[in-house]
Protein backbone atom coordinates (compact mmCIF):
# COMPACT_ATOMS: atom_id res chain seq x y z
CA UNK A 1 0.00 0.00 0.00
CA UNK A 2 1.39 3.40 -0.99
CA UNK A 3 2.08 6.03 1.69
CA UNK A 4 -0.64 8.65 2.10
CA UNK A 5 0.42 12.29 2.13
CA UNK A 6 -2.23 14.58 3.60
CA UNK A 7 -1.81 18.28 2.80
CA UNK A 8 -3.83 20.60 5.03
CA UNK A 9 -4.47 23.75 3.03
CA UNK A 10 -4.91 24.33 -0.71
CA UNK A 11 -3.14 27.67 -0.86
CA UNK A 12 0.09 28.39 -2.71
CA UNK A 13 2.22 26.16 -0.49
CA UNK A 14 -0.16 23.21 -0.34
CA UNK A 15 -1.00 23.23 -4.05
CA UNK A 16 2.68 23.56 -5.03
CA UNK A 17 3.55 20.62 -2.79
CA UNK A 18 0.80 18.47 -4.32
CA UNK A 19 1.97 19.28 -7.84
CA UNK A 20 5.58 18.49 -6.94
CA UNK A 21 4.45 15.02 -5.78
CA UNK A 22 2.78 14.32 -9.14
CA UNK A 23 5.14 11.51 -10.11
CA UNK A 24 5.92 10.25 -6.59
CA UNK A 25 4.83 6.79 -5.45
CA UNK A 26 2.44 8.25 -2.88
CA UNK A 27 -1.25 9.10 -2.66
CA UNK A 28 -1.94 12.77 -2.01
CA UNK A 29 -5.03 14.15 -0.27
CA UNK A 30 -5.60 17.90 -0.12
CA UNK A 31 -7.92 19.17 2.63
CA UNK A 32 -9.24 22.72 2.85
CA UNK A 33 -12.29 24.50 4.28
CA UNK A 34 -12.82 26.17 0.90
CA UNK A 35 -13.26 24.29 -2.36
CA UNK A 36 -11.17 26.86 -4.25
CA UNK A 37 -7.60 28.11 -4.52
CA UNK A 38 -7.39 31.90 -4.20
CA UNK A 39 -4.85 34.13 -5.95
CA UNK A 40 -4.56 36.42 -2.94
CA UNK A 41 -2.31 39.12 -4.50
CA UNK A 42 -5.31 40.32 -6.51
CA UNK A 43 -7.91 40.02 -3.75
CA UNK A 44 -7.85 43.78 -3.28
CA UNK A 45 -9.03 44.13 -6.90
CA UNK A 46 -12.14 42.12 -6.06
CA UNK A 47 -12.59 44.39 -3.04
CA UNK A 48 -12.29 47.48 -5.24
CA UNK A 49 -14.76 46.30 -7.92
CA UNK A 50 -12.25 45.65 -10.70
CA UNK A 51 -12.31 41.84 -10.80
CA UNK A 52 -14.94 39.17 -10.18
CA UNK A 53 -14.18 36.38 -7.68
CA UNK A 54 -14.05 33.75 -10.45
CA UNK A 55 -11.14 35.59 -12.05
CA UNK A 56 -8.84 35.07 -9.05
CA UNK A 57 -10.19 31.80 -7.64
CA UNK A 58 -10.42 28.34 -9.24
CA UNK A 59 -11.90 25.08 -7.90
CA UNK A 60 -9.27 22.90 -6.26
CA UNK A 61 -10.64 19.80 -7.96
CA UNK A 62 -10.13 21.43 -11.34
CA UNK A 63 -6.55 22.41 -10.52
CA UNK A 64 -5.55 18.91 -9.35
CA UNK A 65 -7.32 17.12 -12.21
CA UNK A 66 -3.98 16.46 -14.00
CA UNK A 67 -2.56 14.87 -10.83
CA UNK A 68 -3.50 11.20 -11.04
CA UNK A 69 -2.37 10.48 -7.49
CA UNK A 70 -4.21 13.41 -5.85
CA UNK A 71 -7.70 13.93 -4.43
CA UNK A 72 -9.47 16.67 -2.46
CA UNK A 73 -11.84 16.80 0.52
CA UNK A 74 -13.55 19.93 1.80
CA UNK A 75 -13.43 20.13 5.59
CA UNK A 76 -12.52 22.51 8.40
CA UNK A 77 -9.41 21.40 10.26
CA UNK A 78 -9.87 21.25 14.03
CA UNK A 79 -6.53 19.83 15.15
CA UNK A 80 -3.90 17.14 14.73
CA UNK A 81 -3.40 13.91 16.67
CA UNK A 82 0.38 13.87 16.30
CA UNK A 83 0.90 10.58 18.13
CA UNK A 84 -1.95 8.80 16.35
CA UNK A 85 -1.00 10.33 12.98
CA UNK A 86 -4.47 11.69 12.26
CA UNK A 87 -5.60 15.06 10.92
CA UNK A 88 -8.73 16.07 12.83
CA UNK A 89 -11.58 17.73 10.91
CA UNK A 90 -15.25 18.60 11.39
CA UNK A 91 -16.06 15.54 9.25
CA UNK A 92 -13.92 13.17 11.28
CA UNK A 93 -10.23 12.15 11.49
CA UNK A 94 -8.07 11.54 8.42
CA UNK A 95 -5.11 9.12 8.90
CA UNK A 96 -1.81 10.03 7.30
CA UNK A 97 1.66 8.62 6.74
CA UNK A 98 3.02 12.11 6.04
CA UNK A 99 1.33 15.39 6.92
CA UNK A 100 1.99 18.83 5.43
CA UNK A 101 0.42 21.71 7.34
CA UNK A 102 -0.12 24.68 5.03
CA UNK A 103 -3.18 26.48 6.39
CA UNK A 104 -1.88 30.01 5.95
CA UNK A 105 -2.61 33.08 8.03
CA UNK A 106 -5.43 35.16 9.45
CA UNK A 107 -5.88 38.75 10.58
CA UNK A 108 -4.43 39.60 13.98
CA UNK A 109 -6.36 42.15 16.03
CA UNK A 110 -3.92 41.94 18.96
CA UNK A 111 -6.68 41.11 21.42
CA UNK A 112 -8.56 44.37 20.73
CA UNK A 113 -12.29 43.50 20.52
CA UNK A 114 -13.25 46.81 18.87
CA UNK A 115 -10.93 46.09 15.94
CA UNK A 116 -12.37 42.61 15.48
CA UNK A 117 -15.94 43.91 15.68
CA UNK A 118 -15.78 47.07 13.58
CA UNK A 119 -13.16 46.48 10.90
CA UNK A 120 -13.05 44.23 7.83
CA UNK A 121 -9.96 42.17 7.09
CA UNK A 122 -8.66 41.27 3.65
CA UNK A 123 -7.43 37.69 3.85
CA UNK A 124 -10.12 35.65 2.11
CA UNK A 125 -12.64 35.89 -0.71
CA UNK A 126 -15.64 36.51 1.52
CA UNK A 127 -13.83 39.46 3.09
CA UNK A 128 -12.97 40.86 -0.34
CA UNK A 129 -16.64 40.74 -1.32
CA UNK A 130 -17.63 42.25 2.03
CA UNK A 131 -15.28 45.18 1.43
CA UNK A 132 -16.71 45.76 -2.05
CA UNK A 133 -20.29 45.59 -0.76
CA UNK A 134 -19.53 47.96 2.09
CA UNK A 135 -17.81 50.60 -0.07
CA UNK A 136 -20.71 50.69 -2.51
CA UNK A 137 -23.30 50.59 0.29
CA UNK A 138 -21.65 53.59 1.98
CA UNK A 139 -22.07 55.61 -1.20
CA UNK A 140 -25.71 54.59 -1.55
CA UNK A 141 -26.38 55.48 2.10
CA UNK A 142 -24.70 58.86 1.66
CA UNK A 143 -27.34 59.83 -0.92
CA UNK A 144 -30.08 59.57 1.73
CA UNK A 145 -28.78 62.14 4.18
CA UNK A 146 -28.87 65.92 4.16
CA UNK A 147 -26.50 66.13 7.12
CA UNK A 148 -23.06 67.14 5.79
CA UNK A 149 -21.31 65.72 8.86
CA UNK A 150 -22.95 62.31 8.53
CA UNK A 151 -22.29 62.29 4.79
CA UNK A 152 -18.58 62.98 5.36
CA UNK A 153 -18.49 60.17 7.92
CA UNK A 154 -20.10 57.72 5.51
CA UNK A 155 -17.61 58.72 2.81
CA UNK A 156 -14.49 58.39 4.96
CA UNK A 157 -12.66 55.14 4.22
CA UNK A 158 -9.77 54.17 6.47
CA UNK A 159 -7.15 51.52 5.72
CA UNK A 160 -5.03 50.53 8.71
CA UNK A 161 -1.60 49.14 7.86
CA UNK A 162 1.02 50.53 5.49
CA UNK A 163 2.36 47.23 4.17
CA UNK A 164 1.84 46.09 0.56
CA UNK A 165 -1.81 45.06 1.11
CA UNK A 166 -2.71 48.34 2.79
CA UNK A 167 -0.91 50.48 0.22
CA UNK A 168 -2.47 48.59 -2.70
CA UNK A 169 -5.93 48.75 -1.16
CA UNK A 170 -5.65 52.47 -0.43
CA UNK A 171 -4.61 53.21 -4.01
CA UNK A 172 -7.40 51.04 -5.41
CA UNK A 173 -10.10 52.63 -3.24
CA UNK A 174 -8.94 56.12 -4.14
CA UNK A 175 -9.00 55.36 -7.87
CA UNK A 176 -12.37 53.61 -7.64
CA UNK A 177 -13.86 56.71 -6.04
CA UNK A 178 -12.16 59.48 -7.98
CA UNK A 179 -12.06 57.88 -11.42
CA UNK A 180 -15.25 55.79 -11.47
CA UNK A 181 -17.79 56.46 -8.73
CA UNK A 182 -17.69 60.22 -9.16
CA UNK A 183 -19.24 59.61 -12.60
CA UNK A 184 -21.93 57.32 -11.14
CA UNK A 185 -22.93 59.80 -8.43
CA UNK A 186 -23.44 63.00 -10.35
CA UNK A 187 -24.10 65.14 -7.29
CA UNK A 188 -21.06 63.79 -5.42
CA UNK A 189 -18.76 66.41 -3.96
CA UNK A 190 -15.36 64.68 -3.95
CA UNK A 191 -14.19 67.10 -1.25
CA UNK A 192 -16.48 65.19 1.12
CA UNK A 193 -14.68 61.91 0.39
CA UNK A 194 -11.62 60.88 2.41
CA UNK A 195 -9.32 57.91 1.95
CA UNK A 196 -7.01 57.62 4.94
CA UNK A 197 -4.06 55.24 5.34
CA UNK A 198 -2.82 54.78 8.92
CA UNK A 199 0.59 53.30 9.70
CA UNK A 200 2.25 52.95 13.12
CA UNK A 201 5.78 53.19 11.68
CA UNK A 202 7.35 56.43 10.40
CA UNK A 203 7.14 55.11 6.82
CA UNK A 204 5.05 52.86 4.58
CA UNK A 205 6.29 49.60 3.03
CA UNK A 206 8.78 48.83 5.77
CA UNK A 207 10.28 45.85 3.91
CA UNK A 208 11.46 48.10 1.05
CA UNK A 209 14.52 50.32 0.80
CA UNK A 210 14.07 53.97 1.89
CA UNK A 211 14.04 55.37 -1.66
CA UNK A 212 11.13 53.12 -2.67
CA UNK A 213 9.26 53.91 0.56
CA UNK A 214 9.56 57.60 -0.27
CA UNK A 215 8.40 57.01 -3.86
CA UNK A 216 5.36 55.08 -2.62
CA UNK A 217 4.47 57.82 -0.14
CA UNK A 218 4.65 60.48 -2.85
CA UNK A 219 2.41 58.40 -5.10
CA UNK A 220 -0.15 57.84 -2.36
CA UNK A 221 -0.34 61.55 -1.58
CA UNK A 222 -0.53 62.39 -5.29
CA UNK A 223 -3.62 60.17 -5.51
CA UNK A 224 -5.32 62.18 -2.78
CA UNK A 225 -4.78 59.67 0.03
CA UNK A 226 -4.21 61.08 3.50
CA UNK A 227 -1.28 59.16 4.99
CA UNK A 228 -0.97 59.23 8.78
CA UNK A 229 2.44 57.95 9.92
CA UNK A 230 3.54 57.24 13.50
CA UNK A 231 -0.14 56.68 14.26
CA UNK A 232 -1.54 53.72 16.21
CA UNK A 233 -5.22 52.81 16.28
CA UNK A 234 -6.53 52.41 19.81
CA UNK A 235 -10.20 51.70 19.08
CA UNK A 236 -12.76 51.63 16.28
CA UNK A 237 -16.52 52.17 16.55
CA UNK A 238 -19.25 51.99 13.94
CA UNK A 239 -18.64 55.60 13.04
CA UNK A 240 -15.16 56.63 14.23
CA UNK A 241 -11.49 55.79 14.64
CA UNK A 242 -9.62 56.67 17.83
CA UNK A 243 -5.83 56.91 17.81
CA UNK A 244 -3.42 56.50 20.68
CA UNK A 245 -2.92 59.95 22.10
CA UNK A 246 -6.59 60.81 22.03
CA UNK A 247 -7.20 61.98 18.46
CA UNK A 248 -10.51 60.75 17.08
CA UNK A 249 -12.18 61.31 13.71
CA UNK A 250 -15.38 60.06 12.03
CA UNK A 251 -15.10 57.12 9.63
CA UNK A 252 -17.78 55.02 7.98
CA UNK A 253 -15.57 52.06 7.07
CA UNK A 254 -12.27 50.66 8.34
CA UNK A 255 -10.26 48.01 6.48
CA UNK A 256 -7.73 46.18 8.67
CA UNK A 257 -4.41 45.10 7.10
CA UNK A 258 -2.11 45.97 10.02
CA UNK A 259 -1.71 42.61 11.71
CA UNK A 260 -1.39 39.00 10.64
CA UNK A 261 -0.76 35.75 12.46
CA UNK A 262 -0.79 32.07 11.60
CA UNK A 263 -4.12 30.29 11.26
CA UNK A 264 -5.79 28.79 14.33
CA UNK A 265 -4.60 25.34 13.21
CA UNK A 266 -1.22 26.10 14.78
CA UNK A 267 -2.63 26.29 18.29
CA UNK A 268 -4.90 23.32 17.63
CA UNK A 269 -1.95 21.03 16.92
CA UNK A 270 -0.53 21.35 20.41
CA UNK A 271 2.92 21.87 18.90
CA UNK A 272 5.31 24.52 20.22
CA UNK A 273 4.57 27.97 18.80
CA UNK A 274 6.79 30.97 18.13
CA UNK A 275 5.97 34.59 17.28
CA UNK A 276 2.69 35.20 15.41
CA UNK A 277 1.39 31.77 16.52
CA UNK A 278 3.60 30.04 13.96
CA UNK A 279 4.67 26.46 14.58
CA UNK A 280 8.29 25.94 15.56
CA UNK A 281 10.03 23.78 12.97
CA UNK A 282 13.44 22.27 12.40
CA UNK A 283 15.59 23.57 9.51
CA UNK A 284 14.05 20.74 7.44
CA UNK A 285 10.56 22.22 8.14
CA UNK A 286 9.68 19.15 10.21
CA UNK A 287 7.93 19.49 13.57
CA UNK A 288 10.45 18.61 16.31
CA UNK A 289 9.83 15.07 17.51
CA UNK A 290 7.47 14.31 14.64
CA UNK A 291 9.55 13.67 11.50
CA UNK A 292 6.54 12.80 9.30
CA UNK A 293 4.90 16.19 9.93
CA UNK A 294 6.03 19.21 7.90
CA UNK A 295 4.89 22.83 8.13
CA UNK A 296 5.14 25.30 5.24
CA UNK A 297 4.06 28.83 4.36
CA UNK A 298 2.70 31.36 6.84
CA UNK A 299 2.12 28.67 9.47
CA UNK A 300 5.80 27.71 9.62
CA UNK A 301 8.06 29.51 12.07
CA UNK A 302 11.04 28.84 9.83
CA UNK A 303 14.28 30.80 10.00
CA UNK A 304 16.80 31.88 7.41
CA UNK A 305 19.95 32.42 9.43
CA UNK A 306 18.83 34.37 12.49
CA UNK A 307 15.79 35.98 10.85
CA UNK A 308 12.30 34.53 10.67
CA UNK A 309 11.19 33.91 7.09
CA UNK A 310 8.51 36.38 5.96
CA UNK A 311 4.88 35.45 5.35
CA UNK A 312 5.14 35.65 1.57
CA UNK A 313 3.89 33.51 -1.32
CA UNK A 314 7.39 32.74 -2.72
CA UNK A 315 8.41 31.34 0.68
CA UNK A 316 5.35 29.05 0.71
CA UNK A 317 5.89 27.84 -2.85
CA UNK A 318 9.60 27.15 -2.42
CA UNK A 319 8.86 25.35 0.85
CA UNK A 320 6.15 23.30 -0.86
CA UNK A 321 8.58 22.07 -3.51
CA UNK A 322 11.28 21.41 -0.90
CA UNK A 323 8.98 19.37 1.35
CA UNK A 324 7.77 17.32 -1.62
CA UNK A 325 11.38 16.34 -2.31
CA UNK A 326 11.89 15.49 1.35
CA UNK A 327 8.81 13.27 1.38
CA UNK A 328 10.03 11.50 -1.74
CA UNK A 329 13.31 10.88 0.05
CA UNK A 330 11.68 9.63 3.25
CA UNK A 331 9.33 7.37 1.29
CA UNK A 332 12.35 5.91 -0.52
CA UNK A 333 15.84 5.50 0.82
CA UNK A 334 16.73 9.14 1.48
CA UNK A 335 15.80 11.72 4.07
CA UNK A 336 14.87 15.36 4.62
CA UNK A 337 17.26 18.22 3.96
CA UNK A 338 17.43 21.77 5.33
CA UNK A 339 15.33 24.41 3.57
CA UNK A 340 17.07 27.40 2.01
CA UNK A 341 14.96 30.30 0.79
CA UNK A 342 15.97 32.21 -2.34
CA UNK A 343 14.49 35.70 -2.27
CA UNK A 344 13.03 36.61 -5.71
CA UNK A 345 12.19 40.17 -4.63
CA UNK A 346 9.13 42.10 -3.49
CA UNK A 347 6.79 44.59 -5.13
CA UNK A 348 3.66 46.63 -4.50
CA UNK A 349 1.43 48.77 -6.68
CA UNK A 350 -0.14 52.05 -5.66
CA UNK A 351 -2.48 52.08 -8.64
CA UNK A 352 -2.48 53.33 -12.20
CA UNK A 353 1.04 53.88 -13.57
CA UNK A 354 2.63 53.58 -10.15
CA UNK A 355 4.34 50.70 -8.34
CA UNK A 356 7.57 49.89 -6.55
CA UNK A 357 9.67 46.75 -7.08
CA UNK A 358 12.80 45.53 -5.32
CA UNK A 359 14.33 42.62 -7.24
CA UNK A 360 17.81 41.21 -6.58
CA UNK A 361 19.42 44.51 -5.78
CA UNK A 362 17.56 46.45 -8.49
CA UNK A 363 14.99 49.08 -7.55
CA UNK A 364 12.13 50.28 -9.76
CA UNK A 365 9.35 52.77 -9.17
CA UNK A 366 6.73 54.71 -11.10
CA UNK A 367 5.61 53.48 -14.51
CA UNK A 368 8.44 50.96 -14.94
CA UNK A 369 7.68 49.44 -11.56
CA UNK A 370 4.01 49.28 -12.52
CA UNK A 371 4.74 47.42 -15.77
CA UNK A 372 6.91 44.92 -13.87
CA UNK A 373 4.14 44.43 -11.28
CA UNK A 374 1.53 43.89 -14.02
CA UNK A 375 3.71 41.39 -15.88
CA UNK A 376 4.63 39.31 -12.83
CA UNK A 377 1.08 39.13 -11.51
CA UNK A 378 -0.46 38.36 -14.88
CA UNK A 379 1.99 35.48 -15.44
CA UNK A 380 1.17 34.02 -12.04
CA UNK A 381 -2.64 34.21 -12.27
CA UNK A 382 -4.06 30.73 -11.81
CA UNK A 383 -5.16 29.72 -15.33
CA UNK A 384 -4.91 30.88 -18.94
CA UNK A 385 -8.61 31.77 -18.98
CA UNK A 386 -8.19 33.87 -15.84
CA UNK A 387 -5.14 35.60 -17.31
CA UNK A 388 -7.11 36.53 -20.41
CA UNK A 389 -10.11 37.87 -18.47
CA UNK A 390 -7.92 39.75 -16.01
CA UNK A 391 -5.94 41.32 -18.87
CA UNK A 392 -9.15 42.43 -20.61
CA UNK A 393 -10.50 43.95 -17.38
CA UNK A 394 -7.22 45.74 -16.69
CA UNK A 395 -7.13 47.13 -20.23
CA UNK A 396 -10.78 48.21 -20.06
CA UNK A 397 -10.26 49.99 -16.75
CA UNK A 398 -7.06 51.64 -17.98
CA UNK A 399 -8.60 52.94 -21.20
CA UNK A 400 -12.12 53.84 -20.08
CA UNK A 401 -11.76 54.52 -16.34
CA UNK A 402 -14.46 51.97 -15.63
CA UNK A 403 -14.82 49.01 -13.27
CA UNK A 404 -17.29 46.33 -14.34
CA UNK A 405 -18.47 44.80 -11.06
CA UNK A 406 -19.93 47.71 -9.10
CA UNK A 407 -22.74 45.60 -7.69
CA UNK A 408 -23.79 44.88 -4.13
CA UNK A 409 -24.26 41.14 -3.70
CA UNK A 410 -25.88 39.62 -0.63
CA UNK A 411 -25.46 35.86 -0.58
CA UNK A 412 -28.07 33.65 1.12
CA UNK A 413 -27.94 29.96 1.86
Catalytic residues: 168
**Between the CA atoms of 12, 17, 18 and 20, what dihedral angle is there, to the nearest 10 degrees?**
120
CA distance 350 to 142: 27
Count of CB atoms within 10 A of residue 335's CB? 10
Provide DSSP, 301-359.
Answer: E-EETTEEPPS-HHHHHHHHHHHHHHHHHHHTT------------EEEEEETTEEEEEE
CA distance 199 to 14: 32
Contact 105, 262 (CB under 8 A): yes
Strands 354-359 and 362-365, sheet pairing:
antiparallel
Contact 39, 380 (CB under 8 A): yes
Helices 210-222/164-175 angle, 10° precision: 20
Q: Which residues on neighbouring strands pair with residue 293, listed in sequence order?
A: 99
* Closest CA relative to residue 81, chosen from 73, 72, 92, 70: 92
Amino acid sequence: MRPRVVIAGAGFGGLTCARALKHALVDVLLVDRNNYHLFTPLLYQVASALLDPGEIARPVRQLIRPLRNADFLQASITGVDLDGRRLLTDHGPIPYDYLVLATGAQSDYFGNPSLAAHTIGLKDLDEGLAVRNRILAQFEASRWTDDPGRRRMLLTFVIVGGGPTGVEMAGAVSELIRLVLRKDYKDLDTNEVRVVLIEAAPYVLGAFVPSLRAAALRSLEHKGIEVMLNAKVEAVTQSSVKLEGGEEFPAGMVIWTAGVKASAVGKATGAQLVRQDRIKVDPTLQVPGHPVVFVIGDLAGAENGHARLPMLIPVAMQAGRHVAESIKGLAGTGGASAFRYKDPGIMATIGRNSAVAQIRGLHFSGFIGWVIWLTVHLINVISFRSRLVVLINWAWEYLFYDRPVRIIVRARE
